[in-house]
Copies of this chain bind each other. A is one copy, B any other.
Amino acid sequence: MNDTTRKGLLPAGLADGLPPQAKGEAILVERLVAAFDANGYDRVKPPLIEFEDSLLDGPGVALAPQMFRVMDPVSQRMMGLRADITPQVARIATTRLARAARPLRLSYAGQVLRVRGSQLRPERQFAQAGVELIGAEGIPADAEVVLLAVEALQGVEVARLSVDLTLPTLVPAVCRGLGLDAEASARARDALDRKDAGALVGFENGAGEVFRALLAAGGPAAEAIARLERLSLPDEAAAMRSELAELVATLAAAVPDVLLTVDPTEYRGFEYQTGVSFTLFARGVRGELGRGGRYHLSSGEPAIGFTLYLDSLARAVPAAAVPERIYLPYGTGFAAARELRRQGWRTRAGLVPEQEPKAEAERHGCSHILQGGAPTPL
């Protein structure tokens, strides 16, 4: 291994985006943000680095072990490199934009960094794009956000999209309604997280039967809702079920081509959610494309949003067509070249006199060459 090779090595989990993938990702991000914009979501751009305290506010604390930290020589305070953009958008909504009209619709796109990759996502840097709808709650707000995710993903030609809905508040409501104590509730949570029906026994007030039925209810949304509606649930949990059923009906009517599934006991990764939550997949593509749900800002305001992960998404979209490019032999004037670009041509200019212009054009991967003032296919 020579010195140049060694210097070319990047830290694990960090990578160079090369042509054409780097362009593909940038175009993907801009098309997503354009879909957010068309739906009334205004873009914000928080900094890559800010005071650690701000980044660890509220749900952000879950990523504390994943955050790189540096000392700020100016303030002598610790700063963190963001591992997630959502807490920054929440900060902007509760401070700089505290007085902006509600509901407040914000979008963002940018890079995040993490100290270690995970088994599912070895990357330590990846791009996120998403929205937050702040100061609104209820089914129309939930539906707007889920449908926006669908519209944005279908807009970048993600095929076989599926939305997996979950209700992380349902099991706690059942526990409260059936009078389970903290120990029994924790035991139920643990068994449900492991999807271990066999461990869901020995609970008071028929709770074990309800938990097993919830666990078995998951699947395609229409059937799952029907199974849930046959259950006898305490009032608070029953109200949540009604909301979920209403949301499913709204979504199914709006986007009948999208597979909707319901997993009523899914909880991991949704610990901070306060209502309906969802995960986005493209069937047949590794990794989730994004996730979202309802939560509360530190100010107490209700919010709902989602985040898309560009690394997974890049695997779910069709490869961009190789664009046509025209070779301009040495000596082609600037005005002629600019005019071709104005017409939409992508040019590549010869910088030294060519022996064989066509061979040079081919060496540069061009599809056309300028001959006698006219684009000519190679």
Interface of A is mostly: mixed
CB distance B363 to A101 under 8 Å? yes
Q: Of the candidates B11, B26, B47, B97, which one forms a contact with A43 in the assembled complex, judged by CB atoms under 8 Å apart? A: B26
A345 is an interface residue with CB less than 8 A from chain B: yes
Q: Closest chain B residue to A331 by CB distance?
A: B140
A245 to B363: give the CA distance in the assembly, Å: 32
**How many residues on A have C-beta within 8 angstroms of the other chain's C-beta atoms?**
97
**Contacting residues, chain B, for A115 (C-beta < 8 A):** 73
Across-interface contacts of A18 in B (CB, < 8 A): 44, 92, 96-97
Chain B, Cβ-Cβ closest to A57: B7
Interface presence of A193 (CB below 8 A): no
Q: In the bound complex, how far is the Cα of B93 from the Cα of A4, in angstroms?
A: 11
Q: Which residue in chain B gives the minimum CB-CB distance to A112?
A: B48
Given A13-B74, A116-B74: A7 in contact with B95 (beta carbons within 8 A): yes
Q: How far is the CA of A346 from the CA of B42 in the complex (A)?
A: 11
Checking B70, B98, B335 against A70 with a beta-carbon cut-off of 8 angstroms, the contacting residue is B70
Residues from chain B with Cβ under 8 Å of A101 in the complex: 363-365
Give A340's nearest chain B residue, CB to CB.
B38
Can you list 6 pairs linking A and B with CB atoms under 8 Å apart? A9-B51, A14-B50, A16-B88, A18-B92, A48-B113, A140-B352
- With a cutoff of 8 Å between Cβ atoms, the chain B residues found around residue A162 in the complex are none
Residues of B within 8 A of A97 (CB): 18
Alpha-carbon separation in the docked complex, A111 to B47 (Å): 9
Collect the chain B residues with CB atoms within 8 Å of residue A38's CB.
341, 345-347
Q: Which residues of B contact A106 (CB under 8 A)?
A: 19
- Assembled-state Cα–Cα distance A109/B17 (Å): 12
- Kindly state whether residue A69 has any CB partner on chain B within 8 Å: yes
Q: In the complex, what residues of B have CB within 8 A of residue A50's CB?
A: 10-11, 14
Could you tell me if B9 and A25 are in contact, using CB atoms closer than 8 angstroms? no
Return the chain B residue nearest A151 by Cβ. Answer: B338
What sequence of 0s and 1s flags, for each residue 204-238 of chain A, a beta carbon within 8 Å of any chain B beta carbon?
00000000000000000000000000000000000
Query: What residues of chain B lie closer than 8 Å to A147, measured between beta carbons?
Result: 334
A347: which of B11, B40, B335 is its contact (CB, 8 Å)? B40
Q: Smallest distance from the beta carbon of A265 to chain B beta carbons, Å? A: 28
Is the CB–CB distance between B81 and A11 below 8 Å? Answer: no
Contact (Cβ within 8 A) A22 B43? yes
Does A296 count as interface, using CB distance less than 8 angstroms? no
Known: A79-B11, A349-B144. Is A44-B22 also a contact (CB below 8 A)? yes
Nearest first, the 7 A-B pairs at minimum CB distance are A8-B95, A17-B45, A40-B348, A19-B42, A254-B334, A22-B45, A14-B47
C-alpha gap A325/B341 in the complex (Å):
32
Q: Write out the residue numbers on chain B whose beta carbons fall within 8 Å of the beta carbon of A346.
A: 37-40
Does A33 belong to the interface (CB within 8 Å)? Answer: yes
CA distance A37 to B40 in the complex (A): 30
Q: Is A291 engaged at the interface, CB distance under 8 Å to the other chain?
A: no
Given contacts A48-B111, A113-B49, whether A11 and B96 have CB atoms under 8 Å apart is: no
Q: Which residues, 21 to 63 on A, are CB-close (under 8 Å) to B? A: 22-23, 25-26, 30, 33, 37-40, 42-51, 53-54, 57
Contacts of A338 in B (CB 8 A): 151
**A198 CB, nearest partner CB in chain B, Å:** 39
- Could you tell me the distance between the alpha carbons of A348 and B151 in the complex, rounded to whole angstroms? 15
